[in-house]
C-alpha cells in the first residue's frame, strides 16, 4: 500500500460568514491548501468533497464537479461524500484510499458547510435529525440535542460525574478557541460573563453560577445548556494528499496518515447495550492504532468531536485515553488542557472553533497538521509528533478515526 502524505492545508475562518456562499468557502480553503503545498501547477487526479446538506441548505448538487471547474482542475475526478457530521472524515478517507491504492498520486480533500443564512434554526435541527431512526426516534420528536441530553443524564448518574465537569470541557475549549485565529468564538466563557456583567444582565460569583443561570445559559436539552453545545457555523477546510514517495518535493514537513479507521453501530440508540459506550469509536480507533502500530499512550494531541460537551468526555474514554467513566473527571482535573497529559481540542473543538458540519472532519486533520508542524501559535502542544481524530456521524453510528504522524 502506498504511503499517504499531507503536504498542504487550508482553513477559512469559521463563523457567521455572511459575505460568502458555500462555493466561495470551498474555494477559499482549497486555494489556501494549494498555495500551502506549492502544488498550484500540478495535475490533480481527484477532488473529494465532504458536505452534509448542500441540497437542503443551499439548493446545490453536483458541487464536487462544480468545484473542480471553479479551481481550474478539470478533468480531475470529483466525488462528494455525505456522512452527516462525519462527511469531512469520509472525504479524507476516500482521498486516502485513492492514493493508497496507487490509482491517484495527487488529491484535494475539502469539507465545508454554509448554514447560518438559514433564518429558522429549527430547519437545520430537523435536517440533521434525519440522521436518527425515523420510526423509533425521529417521529417521537427526537433530535440530536435530545439524544445528547439523554446520554448526559445517564453518564452523569452512572459514573457519578458532575454537570460542572462538562462545563469544564466547554470552558477549556473556549479558552483554546480564544488562541485560534480561525475559531468561530475567539472568546473565553469568562469573557462572555464579564460582558454580561458590564451590560447589567446579572451578577455571578463564579463561572459555574453563570453557566447554571437560565438567563445567561438557557437549557437546550436537559441537562445540557447553550454553552454545552456547539454553534451553527459556516466554513470550510482543505488538505492536499499525495503519494508519500513524492511528498518532500512539495513540502519540508509533510505529515503522514498512518492509521485510519471507520465503524458503524446500531441506528437506534436504545438498541446499544450501553449508550455511554461508543462502540463505533472503539472499533475505528482500534483499526487506526493497529494500522499505525501505535497505542493511545503514543498520542500527543487529539481532536475529538464535541458537538455536545458530553461527547468529548465519552470519546476521550473510548479512544483509549481514560478508563470508562473517567473522561469528564479527567477534563475537570485539567488533564486534557494544552499542557496536560493528553491535550484534547487545542483548536477549541466544535464548541469554540465551530461546526460547519461537513468541514469538521477535515478541520480536525488541519489542526493536527498545524500542531505536528509546530505552527499552532499560542495553542501549540509542545513537541507534538502524533495525533488522532474522532469524527462522529449520526448519533455515534458512524465514526471515523484518523491517526497522523510527522514524516
Q: Which residue from 21, 151, 48 is spatially nearest to 106, judged by alpha carbons?
A: 48
Q: 3-class DSSP state for residue 389?
A: strand
The CA-based dihedral angle spanning residues 317, 322, 324, 326, taken in that order and rounded to the nearest 10 degrees: -110
Interface positions with its own copies (CB under 8 A)? 1-2, 46, 52-53, 55-56, 59-62, 64-66, 68-70, 73-84, 90, 93-94, 97-98, 100-103, 127-128, 130-131, 133-134, 260, 262-268, 279-280, 283, 393-394, 397-398
Q: In degrees, to the nearest 5, what angle opens at C-alpha 357 toward C-alphas 95 and 399?
A: 60
**Beta carbon nearer to its own copies, 168 or 265:** 265
Bridge partner list, 4: 243
Q: How far is the CB of 263 from its own copies (least distance, A)?
A: 4
* Shortest distance in whole angstroms from residue 190 CB to its own copies: 37
* Non-local CB neighbours of 199 within 8 Å, separated by 6+ positions: none
Comparison of 65 and 212: residue with beta carbon closer to its own copies: 65
Distance (Å, rounded) from C-alpha 392 to C-alpha 148? Answer: 13
> CB of 315: closest distance to its own copies in angstroms?
16
173 grid coordinates: 475549549
Q: Which is nearer to its own copies, 166 or 283 (CB)?
A: 283
Q: Is 237 helix (H, G, I), strand (E, B) or coil?
A: strand
The minimum distance between CB 168 and its own copies, in angstroms, equals 31
- Shortest CB 360 distance to its own copies, Å: 15
Min dist CB 304 to its own copies, Å, is 19
Q: What is the DSSP string of 242-296?
A: EEGGGHHHH-SS-EEEEEEEEEE--SSGGGSS-TT--HHHHHHHHHHHHHHT--G
Asked if residue 345 lies in contact with residue 176, where contact means CB atoms within 8 angstroms, the answer is yes
Closest approach of Cβ 54 to its own copies, in Å?
A: 9
Q: Based on CB atoms, which residue is closest to its own copies, 38 or 65?
A: 65
Q: Helix H segments across 159-223?
A: 163-177, 189-198, 207-211
Q: Which CA distances in Å does 337 have to 33, 313, 345, 347? A: 28, 13, 8, 11
Q: Which is nearer to its own copies, 52 or 224 (CB)?
A: 52
CB nearer to its own copies: give 178 or 350.
350
Q: Do the beta carbons of residue 5 and residue 241 sit within 8 Å?
A: yes
- Give the whole-angstrom CA distance, residue 172 versus residue 119: 30
Nearer to its own copies, 387 or 393 (CB): 393
Q: Residue 16 or 97: which CB sits closer to its own copies?
A: 97
**What is the Cα–Cα distance from 132 to 142, expressed in whole angstroms?**
8
Amino acid at each position: 500500500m502506498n504511503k499517504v502524505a499531507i503536504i498542504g492545508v487550508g482553513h477559512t475562518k469559521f463563523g457567521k460568514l455572511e459575505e460568502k456562499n458555500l462555493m466561495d468557502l470551498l474555494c477559499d480553503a482549497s486555494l489556501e491548501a494549494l498555495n500551502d503545498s506549492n502544488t498550484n501547477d500540478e495535475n490533480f487526479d481527484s477532488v473529494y468533497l465532504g458536505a452534509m446538506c448542500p441540497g437542503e441548505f443551499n439548493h446545490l448538487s453536483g458541487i464536487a464537479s462544480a468545484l473542480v471547474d471553479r479551481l481550474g482542475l478539470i478533468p480531475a475526478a470529483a466525488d462528494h461524500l455525505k456522512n452527516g457530521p462525519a462527511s469531512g472524515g469520509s472525504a479524507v478517507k476516500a482521498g486516502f484510499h485513492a492514493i493508497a491504492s496507487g490509482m491517484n498520486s495527487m488529491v484535494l480533500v475539502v469539507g465545508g458547510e454554509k448554514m447560518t443564512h438559514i433564518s429558522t434554526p429549527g430547519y437545520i435541527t430537523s435536517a440533521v435529525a434525519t440522521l436518527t431512526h425515523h420510526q423509533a426516534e425521529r417521529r417521537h420528536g427526537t433530535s440530536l440535542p435530545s439524544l445528547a441530553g439523554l446520554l448526559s443524564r445517564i453518564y452523569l448518574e452512572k459514573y457519578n460525574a458532575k454537570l460542572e465537569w462538562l462545563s469544564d470541557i466547554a470552558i477549556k475549549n473556549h479558552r483554546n478557541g480564544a488562541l485560534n485565529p480561525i475559531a468561530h468564538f475567539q472568546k473565553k466563557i469568562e469573557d462572555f460573563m464579564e460582558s454580561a456583567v458590564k451590560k447589567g444582565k446579572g451578577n455571578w460569583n463564579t463561572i459555574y453560577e453563570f453557566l447554571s443561570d437560565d438567563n445567561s445559559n438557557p437549557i437546550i436539552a436537559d441537562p445540557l445548556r447553550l454553552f454545552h453545545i456547539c454553534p451553527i457555523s459556516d466554513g470550510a477546510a482543505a488538505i492536499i494528499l499525495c503519494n508519500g514517495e513524492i511528498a518532500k518535493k512539495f513540502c519540508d514537513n509533510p505529515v503522514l496518515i498512518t492509521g485510519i479507521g471507520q465503524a458503524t453501530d446500531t441506528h437506534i440508540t436504545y438498541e446499544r447495550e450501553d449508550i455511554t459506550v461508543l462502540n463505533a469509536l472503539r472499533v475505528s480507533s482500534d483499526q487506526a492504532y493497529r494500522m499505525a502500530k501505535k497505542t493511545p499512550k503514543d498520542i500527543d494531541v487529539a481532536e475529538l468531536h464535541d458537538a455536545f460537551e458530553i461527547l468529548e468526555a465519552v470519546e476521550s474514554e473510548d479512544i483509549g485515553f481514560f478508563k470508562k467513566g473517567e473522561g469528564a473527571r479527567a477534563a475537570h482535573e485539567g488533564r486534557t488542557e494544552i499542557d496536560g497529559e493528553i491535550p484534547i481540542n487545542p483548536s477549541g473543538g466544535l464548541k469554540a472553533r465551530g461546526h460547519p458540519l461537513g468541514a469538521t472532519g477535515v478541520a480536525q486533520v488541519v489542526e493536527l497538521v498545524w500542531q505536528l508542524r509546530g505552527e499552532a501559535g499560542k495553542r501549540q502542544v509542545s513537541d507534538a509528533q502524533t495525533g488522532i481524530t474522532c469524527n462522529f456521524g449520526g448519533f455515534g453510528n458512524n465514526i471515523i478515526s484518523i491517526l497522523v504522524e510527522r514524516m
